[in-house]
Amino acid sequence: MPKVVDREARRLAVADATLRLAATNGLEAVSIRTVAAEAGMSPGAVQKYFATKDELLLCALDLSDERLVARWNALPDDAPLTDYLRQVLPLDDNTRAENALLWSFTARAAYLPEWAERIATSYAQLHERLVASLDATSTGKTSGDTTSGDTAWRDPAAPDTGATDEAATAGDTTSSDTAAPAMDTGELAHAIIALTDGFAHRMLQHPPGAPELDTLQRALESAIVTLATASRPD
């Protein structure tokens, strides 16, 4: 009998191999030949699914997005905002690979419009998901939500960093005329994504398990709580 080949499984295996290579050695290391070797396939077999390097990379980015969405969907309905953002950070080998690929893509997107469009689609999906989480948190619609407005942003088990309204306003001598206006959830989501991107880039400079990762993660979560608290309308 002729051998039955699961084409989708083979495509995913090739995409996974591409993701690993790009994360370890950068986009320059990705080629039909190197991906074939990483996947344990022949170059000809890889070319049955992907004709060019760009097709390989785009499929790997799609796989990265799918994995992120799966991690989000696995969270409980009442998960704090920081739990969602934690799924984006490079805290283990898999998420480091995803972040490394994203940053490599972003660099090329600066001068390749078609890549910029693909990156914009990924960020639009992230923004939409984050806005929904912010709306649920700020209105108390999150299932099982018994937290206050300040603590709903953060994992209740995380150490208190003092990012509360009292701490944020202690010693505040500004008038209401000079205070920054409150942001809507769309604007706040953009700010949080940009902040998380910056921290993720810093975290990529440290290997998994490095103590600096915990320090940076706590700093990010504290900054998000402060930002979210300060942006709420009175």
Instruction: Answer whether residue 142 shows pLDDT above 60.
Output: no
Closest to 73 in 3D by CA, of 151, 156, 149, 132: 132
Average confidence (pLDDT) over 28-52: 93
Count of the separate structural domains present in the chain: 2
With cut-offs at 50, 70 and 90, classify the pLDDT of residue 154: low
Q: Which residue has the higher pLDDT, 50 or 165?
A: 50
Residue 11 belongs to a domain with what CATH number? Answer: 1.10.357.10
With cut-offs at 50, 70 and 90, classify the pLDDT of residue 162: very low
Distance between first and last Cα of the chain = 72
pLDDT tens-digit series, residues 5-19: 678 888 999 999 998
The pLDDT of residue 92: 86
Residue span of the structural domain in which 135 resides: 75-231
Number of other residues whose CB lies within 10 A of the CB of residue 214: 11
The pLDDT of residue 148: 40
Residue 215 CA: distances (Å) to CA of 87, 99, 147: 17, 19, 25
Answer yes or no: do 17 and 40 share one domain.
yes
The pLDDT of residue 143: 38
Answer yes or no: do 15 and 47 share one domain.
yes
The pLDDT of residue 151: 45
Answer yes or no: do 13 and 92 share one domain.
no
pLDDT tens-digit series, residues 82-133: 888 889 999 888 888 889 888 888 888 899 898 899 999 989 989 998 898 8
The pair of three-digit structure tokens given for residue 23, joined into one six-digit string: 């994360």
The pLDDT of residue 36: 95
pTM confidence score: 0.75
Could you tell me what percent of the chain has a pLDDT over 70? Answer: 78
Answer yes or no: do 53 and 88 share one domain.
no
pLDDT tens-digit series, residues 170-192: 444 444 455 556 788 999 999 99
The pLDDT of residue 172: 47
Element (H, E) at 226: helix 211-231
Answer yes or no: do 207 and 164 share one domain.
yes
Using alpha carbons only, what angle is made at residue 143 by residues 138 and 147, rounded to the nearest 5 degrees? 55
